[in-house]
Amino acid sequence: MACTSKEQFHQDINELNQELKPQEQIATVQTMKLNRGGLIIKTSEGPIQFGLPPETVKDSMSLGVEVPTFYIIPTQRFNKQFGINVAEFEFPAYFNFFIKKRQVTLICDTETANSIKIVFQETLLGPKDFSQIQNDYHPDVDPIEYVDFKKELAIFAKNPMNLNEKLTSETLLKFVIFDNNVAQIGKVKIVKEEKEFTIYDNDNLLISFPDKFSFPKEYDKLLSLHKIDSSGKSEIAPPSLLIMKKMKHGKKPPSLTQNFDEVDSDEDDQEIGSMPNLLLWNKNGEAKLQKKGSIELNEGLTFQAPEFGVTVLGCSHGFDPKGSTSGYIFWINGRGIMVDPPPYTSYHLKKMGIPPMMISAIIISHCHADHDAGAFHKILDDSKVEIITTRTIMYSFLRKYSAISNLSQEQIKSLFIFRPAILGVPLNIYGAEFEFFYAFHSIPCIGFRVKYQNKSIYFSGDTFYDPVKIEELHKQGHLNQARCRQLNSPKFTEDIILHEAGVPPIHTSQTVLSQLPNQVKNRMYLVHVAAKDVLKGSGLKVAKPGIENTLILIRPNVQQDIPLNRKMDIISRIDIFDKLTLNNAKFLMDALKLEKYKEGELVIQENQEGHKFYIIESGLAKVFSDQKQNKFQRYLQTGDYFGESALIQTGRRKASVLAVTDLRVLSLDKHDFWFIFGDGFEGQGPVIEQMMQLMEARKQQAIQILFKNSHFSQLTPTQKTQLEMIMQQQDISKGQILWKKDDEATFVFFIRKGAFVFIDCDEAKLEEFDSGSFIGEINAILKGEKLTTTVKAIREGSILKIEANAFVKFLQRNPGLLLLLQEYKYLE
């Protein structure tokens, strides 16, 4: 590595090595399951690991065993359900090379090896072509200000053990390719069969295991956030906060910074299993996290995102077994922008009670695995999300994840909305002013300054900040004067400074940052560094991770009215309003009124006359009925709505709604409801038609059918509502053929009751399907192909039918489901 002495590099590495010595007492273990998934097998040639989920090296380190150098790559190396790469070789390679000074060997087929080489080009060395770099900049920027990446990345692309040697993929990686399904490593033979691997050591059978990577059970628990009880009518969801006051103290809540083996899942806590933690604010603007039974509540608390601030999800690095890799939520006008989301972040956020609607976009700073692994997961998690980065970084991301997932770049582009970050001009994003810049790193990486009202935050990105060394590089001809000036220009005048630190030259030395004035260090929070590694006496500090440690510059003013852009944000993300005309959307903005309810206060009462429609702006509400024939309860959060049925049908409320926390809602009077959503003459407009379809689906208890399906039960409440709105019940007689082989694919369906089978096709060997099962040839619908199955009812029943066009639109809105479901013909 350049910019630092070889001796200093080895000193840093040796110190880390001393902390990572394996524990001798575990050395006799023959096989070991890892916390994040995967398996280590002890052989005479050394440990061999199957499967490489993100942060896998931390499992070996925390268990005190040697980090392997041999890795078997699963045939299916990308998990579509989680959106996670299970062949994440980057950090095992970095750890073994930079810490242990040795290569890793990847055991795989030729196609996988070629894909991995593409990935490593992007992550180790960066893009090959920068001919379109001008597209990253505003047209008014002088080309002399453009970063010369060809010259700049060459500074870092040197073997740190031999600075005269160029760094290449082959410097870190070796491949053993399966030849006739056999891979040989010394005396160890690995045989790849149809669905499993078998390992022989000295011709003795050692182990056989499935060629399928499995995540641990804790991941399934994080998926199962929307549960119902055995009756199918009641979500296992938050008890009232009044009950929580009486609960014992000290219960450890799920945390964004915990490893999965630390997630709280005590059996005796099942009754409140999906109770979200809440970020609460008192009258003085102080934020506290209401954990499950761990904090006494004060009066005047409510759930609300900061007007402007930042939550640190993790602040450590890829080699810290006790810390979570860096990731952030920047809060702007009550909306969240995730920056470099860590792996599995979406499930943690759900567990902590942050609705998906509150996360509006993702910023990807660069394409190292500890910064982009969670981005693809978030892309597939819910409806389309906006991704913000430069075009150079975006195309690198596309090449990398196309190779990882076996999806084409065009397929990946269709999964999200791309918003280019333009350098050289302030960009207005959600009411804040962003100024992006290229940091100084081993591959293209962005940082930014963001200003909202009269407050500002600086985010360095991964960078090497050292004015003296950067000036030396300029004098040596590696950097031009404009780039030197830009890299040495931070004034650090922002109210919050998030600056990375680590081992130079790809990171910033704490020694350099410790020399900054105290008035700067008082506002600076280190990230990408473990708390234990902060220089003592330096005046530096790490950013504390967790929603309870949110850094707040402008607190929410719960007393003021909701600004127009906040109203527009909520309305624009509610599916049922998609068909509103621009004029009607304007009328809606004018007519919505803010109402506030205290914790424990009823918003509407069952059986009373209904005159208003409500949309939740913030807080948590419980919808419930105590009527014997209609007993149920469910919970609503930001962006959910209620109260429409009384305005459209009977006039009387069919359920009560209670404020579980202090609640802010946008209300719409009945006459405005019909004026805006109807046709102007008391007739139904498209919005009311959709609402009526939703009410009919709920009358048929469609939601209970979805909960019976192991796949569709995992959908978010918003996704379930989208499905309910396009379902139509249809009665089916015994012996009825629903479709025949070679017919056109015109619909899919869920079984409401009865029994159905496939006949005259390959699937005819399957057992009968009953209530909750989904049947539909999704690929045939997407590609306009003929059906390959025939489906017959063997008992009288009914289905919830979804027309093909409507189902395609649903999948297009939810790209993760499209990716997951497109190969299936049935799901139970």
Encode 700-758 in three state secondary structure. CCHHHHHHCCCCHHHCCHHHHHHHHCCCEEEEECCCCEEECCCCECCEEEEEEEEEEEE
Q: Which amino acid is at 38?
A: G
H or E segment to which residue 535 belongs:
none
Instruction: Please give the structure tokens belonging to residue 162.
Output: 């031999």
Per-residue pLDDT, 441: 96
**How many whole angstroms separate alpha carbon 368 and alpha carbon 506?**
12
H or E segment to which residue 408 belongs:
none
Residues contacting residue 180 through CB under 8 Å, at least 6 positions apart: none
**How many whole angstroms separate alpha carbon 615 and alpha carbon 567?**
10
Instruction: Please give the structure tokens belonging to residue 705.
Output: 């059918």
Coil, strand or helix at 806:
helix
**How many whole angstroms separate alpha carbon 561 and alpha carbon 559?**
7
- Count each helix (H run) and each strand (E run) in the chain, helices first: 26, 44
| Triad 611, 612, 617: Cα angle to 5° | 165
Residue of 699, 723, 727 lying closest to 713 (CA atoms): 723
Residue of 402, 413, 258, 256 lying closest to 336 (CA atoms): 256
Residues contacting residue 223 through CB under 8 Å, at least 6 positions apart: 347, 714
**How many whole angstroms separate alpha carbon 462 and alpha carbon 339?**
12
Instruction: Please give the structure tokens belonging to residue 165.
Output: 């040697």
Instruction: Please give the structure tokens belonging to residue 397.
Output: 């991301």
Instruction: Please give the structure tokens belonging to residue 363.
Output: 């910023």
Instruction: Please give the structure tokens belonging to residue 370.
Output: 């500890």
Instruction: Please give the structure tokens belonging to residue 508.
Output: 């910033």
Label residue 15 exposed, middle or buried (CB < 10 Å: 0-12, 13-18, 19+).
Answer: exposed
**Structure letter (DSSP) for residue 93:** H
Residue of 460, 592, 594 lying closest to 529 (CA atoms): 460
H or E segment to which residue 812 belongs:
helix 804-813
Residue of 817, 716, 57, 98 lying closest to 442 (CA atoms): 98
Cis status, amide bond into 505, omega within 30 of 0: yes
Per-residue pLDDT, 278: 42
Helices marked H in 110-240: 110-120, 149-156, 169-172, 217-223
Per-residue pLDDT, 518: 95
Residues contacting residue 549 through CB under 8 Å, at least 6 positions apart: 311, 312, 543
Instruction: Please give the structure tokens belonging to residue 681.
Output: 């003459």
Instruction: Please give the structure tokens belonging to residue 630.
Output: 């209609």
**How many whole angstroms separate alpha carbon 382 and alpha carbon 398?**
20
**How many whole angstroms separate alpha carbon 711 and alpha carbon 594?**
37
Coil, strand or helix at 585:
helix
* 44 and 371 Cβ atoms separated by less than 8 Å: no
How far apart, in Å, are the Cα atoms of 224 and each of 1, 13, 53, 220?
Answer: 45, 41, 20, 6
**How many whole angstroms separate alpha carbon 715 and alpha carbon 774?**
14
**Structure letter (DSSP) for residue 124:** I
Per-residue pLDDT, 682: 65
**How many whole angstroms separate alpha carbon 595 and alpha carbon 618?**
11
Coil, strand or helix at 220:
helix
Q: What pTM was computed for the model? A: 0.82
pLDDT along the chain (828 residues), means of 10: 46 50 43 90 94 90 90 91 86 90 95 94 94 96 96 90 86 95 95 93 92 78 44 40 31 32 29 35 44 33 72 81 84 91 75 74 94 83 86 96 90 90 94 96 97 95 96 95 94 95 91 95 92 91 88 80 80 81 88 92 91 89 81 82 84 88 91 84 77 78 84 80 88 95 94 94 91 92 91 94 92 80 84
* 292 and 269 Cβ atoms separated by less than 8 Å: yes
Torsion region of 424: left, alpha or beta (phi above 0 gives left; psi -120 to 50 gives alpha): left
